Amino acid sequence: MSTRPIQNGSKEYLEGGWWKFRAQVYVPGEDKRVRLSFRLCPAEGPEALNKHQREALKRRIIAEQTLKYEKSVASEDAVTVEQQGKILLERLSMRNRGRLTDKCIRQYERVMRLHINPIIGDYPVSAIFNAQLKLVVDSLSAVGYTASTMHSIIHVAKKIVGSAVDPRTGEALYPRTWNADLIGLPFRNVDAQNTPVFSREILTGLAAYNEPRLRMLFTLAAATGARVGELLGIEIDKHISPDFRTITIDQQVTGSAVVHLRMLSSRREVDLHPDIAAALRAFVGESKSGLLFRTATGAPLPVGFVRHHLHRALTSLGYSSDMAENKLAGTHAFRRSRDGYLRNETACPESIYKFWLGRAVGADVSERYYNFRRDRKTRLEWAERCGYGFDLPQFPPHVQ
């Protein structure tokens, strides 16, 4: 006899006005299969199904019974998905190589708590296959999550399974071949995602914002393509060159903390056009140290504060996203705008603007041989030649 927990079932039959089928199922506490009868649908009426619909329902019932069996036969000492998720979070927070930021760890924990544990949290890790992840996808689809969000959540579930390793050898205990079709993951529609960019007019308006710190921040974000968190982590005496033409990016603000960047490609130098450098020099004034963008107490300027004023400025400028009606843009739109400007409106070499934006070097070996980190003169020439893609208003001197 097959060792499967449930057989495929008998042919459907009519009994008492219902379509039914029988199947032999293992029941917890029994040494052998028990023959059970399962209802499919009424033979007549609005809830009646045709032959193909009944066959599909039959297969679904069999699949559900299989999942119930796998869940019930798990030993009491087996590590569950919820327990393994906690182990994964601990490893991510303590590892030396590529340690995640506290914000990323909190995001992982939130995904596990809200979307994974309620569905498959008490399943043993050894029992997680494509069919189990499909349960998570089905629950997300029912709520109406986007394809991109579902991919991100399932990615966390896969990492939980992959994090179960043999402590002696480091080999994965439960290697899996994941199948997006069986899991039911929809295709990501990149064209439908809200990825706005700012026009020259909007960038010019943001560069003239009435708050000096944010005016300078918006200008640097538009002229460099650096992430706002990276700009908030700039310290005057550590990261700004004496001629104000180059900014070193090696840390960022996360929450209220300043942390070093995790990715090596993100640690870089960004060169400025002379006009932007002059504006930066005027903004710094007589300040010699401390954060470039800070509160009155010297603490990092909160990212939420920046986002609030950005939305306020965009509203006053009459901005509306082309991707989503009546939806404002986030701070990452500065980065997209700079990327698009350098790619499409300048002759800047790809290796240089990738270096400025903190992108990984391509597969071409020559790109790795020629280190732009050491060729500041060439970078400065290209920074001046490329420009910055918007009109820069006159900056009044501002002392920190």
pLDDT, tens digit, for every residue of 174-185? 999 999 999 999
pLDDT above 60 (res 28):
no
pTM for the full model? 0.67
Triad 290, 296, 299: Cα angle to 5° = 50
At the top level of CATH, the class of 200-386 is: mainly alpha
What's the confidence (pLDDT) of residue 75? 45
DSSP state of 285: T
What's the confidence (pLDDT) of residue 375? 86
**Confidence band of 326 (pLDDT split at 50, 70, 90):** low
At the top level of CATH, the class of 81-192 is: mainly alpha
Taking residues 76-81, report their average pLDDT.
72
pLDDT in tens, 134-152: 999 999 999 889 898 999 9
Contacts of the segment 22-27: beta carbons below 8 A, 24+ positions apart = 23/62, 23/65, 25/65, 25/69, 26/69, 26/73
What's the confidence (pLDDT) of residue 383? 95
Distance CA 208, CA 224 (A): 17
Distance CA 36, CA 25 (A): 7
pLDDT above 60 (res 2):
no
How is the chain split into domains, by residue range? 13-72, 81-192, 200-386
What's the confidence (pLDDT) of residue 7? 58
Distance CA 222, CA 231 (A): 11
Q: One fold for both 81-192 and 200-386?
A: no
What's the confidence (pLDDT) of residue 175? 92
